[in-house]
Amino acid sequence: MSRLPQLIAASDESDYWHQTRQPLVSLAFLMPLLLTYELGVLQINGLASETLRNGADFWMRDWLWAAGLQLAWLLPCLIILMLLVWHVCGRYRWRVPTETLCGMAAESLLYAFALVVLGQVQEAAFRHLESAGPVLSGLTTSVGRESSVALASEWVRAVLFIGAGVYEEVLFRLLLLPVLYFALRLLLVPATWATWLAVLGSSLLFASAHHIGAFAEEFTAFAFTFRTLAGLFFAGLFVCRGFGIAAGCHAAYDILVGVLLTDV
């Protein structure tokens, strides 16, 4: 991991491992998730859809509104445009193999299960250290659901967790991580150190963001530690496997622990 730009840029090779890191392939992979979230929010809340949005989505929309840009579909359109511009500037091939998308889905699920195991290992470690019964409900706490979301229907929770997977990765990995890297490079921090510090810094901010705002979750050492580890996990996927798999893994993990495993 010597240079972030080299790692997040895909080559022109046509093998699966390079294709998954190409912006157009990531866009094609995430479009069903993006549309499901946007249309799902509209279907659930109608014209009041702005009141039922993932935190990262709400923050980015709020920033656009503060700038006088108040179009409902502007944010997802900007994300699509950003990936297309990246694809054009990188001179990648305009090709999205179906088998590559299937492989990305399988990878996302595999990494999501690995993150579930990581959460269980951390919970066991906290229980051992404190020796005072359950630390927290490890899996569900790591998702960071507000009480209103926890009581919502499975469909509502699934929609919100899909949005979290996409928009939190847009904010903290696609935007923030490279910004931190290039800011550190402008300060003459060596490339290797800048990469690691950007990964760590974005992960700490990712964990902290869940404890900020009107609907913030109460701070606990367990939740903050797990989200920092999860941030490092997602950042590693972003750098090594591409934006699409990082967001796909994030969404898959949230649905696993927030919908499918809630009664296990």
pTM of the model: 0.85
| Tens of pLDDT, residues 72-107 | 889 999 999 999 999 999 999 999 999 999 999 999
pLDDT on residue 20: 94
Q: Report which of residues 137 and 188 the model is more confident about.
A: 188
Mean pLDDT to the nearest integer, 228-245:
96
Q: What tokens were used for 256? A: 């696993």
With contact defined as beta carbons under 8 Å apart, do 54 and 47 qualify? Answer: no
User: To which residue do tokens 């990082």 refer?
Assistant: 246
Q: What are the helix (H) ranges across 176-220?
A: 177-186, 191-209
How many Cβ atoms are within 10 Å of 214's Cβ, its own excluded?
A: 5
pLDDT on residue 50: 59
Give me the long-range contacts of 134-137 (CB less than 8 A, separation at least 24).
135/222, 136/220, 136/222, 136/223
pLDDT band at 141 (very low <50, low <70, confident <90, very high): very low
Please, what is the angle between helix 243-255 and helix 23-45, to 10°? 40
Q: What tokens were used for 251? A: 């969404």
Residue extents of the structural domains in the chain: 4-260
pLDDT band at 138 (very low <50, low <70, confident <90, very high): very low
Burial of 211 from C-beta contacts in 10 A (0-12 / 13-18 / 19+): middle
Report the C-alpha gap between 100 and 208 in whole angstroms.
34
pLDDT on residue 135: 45
Report the C-alpha gap between 165 and 168 in whole angstroms.
6
pLDDT on residue 152: 62
pLDDT beyond 90 at 132? no
With pLDDT > 70 as the criterion, what percentage of the chain qualifies?
Answer: 81
